[in-house]
Amino acid sequence: VVTIAVYSFFCSSLIGEQYLDPAQKHVGHSIDLYIPLSALLQLFFYIGWVKVAEALLNPFGDDDHDFEFVPLIERNWEMSKMIGEPQPNEIPPAVINIGKNLTSDISNNSFSLMMISKSNENIEYIDSNA
């Protein structure tokens, strides 16, 4: 749509920027045949900006191994809405708390002892002087 708008604007500006001198009293005011440099420069910059906008639509490329940018943005938008808004109908399932049956006494708790064990506890040292 934007490309068609730019080209139609350029065509209308080519016709609109023609110099017609009414003092010459030509019948029908014939069109002067010259190149409007300002309109060409304007077209050059507009086409450049259109190409930049087309590149920004999918900045990661259109190859088979590239991933789509729009679904990525849509997914992140949906996830941010789910995080920010309460979801009363989507309550996550309860998780069993593994720490509720642990005792505070470290000596009786094998789970706690396993966490405290040292990494060099079972290494045997050989005395080189013996």
pLDDT of residue 9: 86
Domain residue extents for the chain? 2-62
How many Cβ atoms are within 10 Å of 7's Cβ, its own excluded? 14
Average pLDDT over residues 5-20: 79
Does residue 12 surpass a pLDDT of 80? Answer: yes
33 or 7, higher pLDDT = 7
How many Cβ atoms are within 10 Å of 47's Cβ, its own excluded? 14
Q: Which two tokens stand for residue 128?
A: 């080189």
Does residue 121 surpass a pLDDT of 60? Answer: yes
**What is the rounded CA–CA span in Å between residue 54 and residue 47?**
10
Q: What type of residue sits at position 95?
A: V
pLDDT of residue 107: 54
First to last CA, the chain: 90
List all residues 6 or more positions away from 113 whose beta carbon is below 8 Å from its beta carbon. 106, 107
pLDDT of residue 104: 57
Give per-residue pLDDT as tens, 56-113: 776 666 666 666 777 888 888 988 887 877 766 776 677 776 666 665 555 555 555 4
Reported confidence tier of residue 11, pLDDT bands at 50, 70, 90: confident
Tell me what the pLDDT averaged over the chain comes to: 72
Residue identified by tokens 């309109």 is: 39
Q: Which two tokens stand for residue 54?
A: 């087309």
**What is the rounded CA–CA span in Å between residue 13 and residue 35?**
12
Residue identified by tokens 């789970």 is: 111
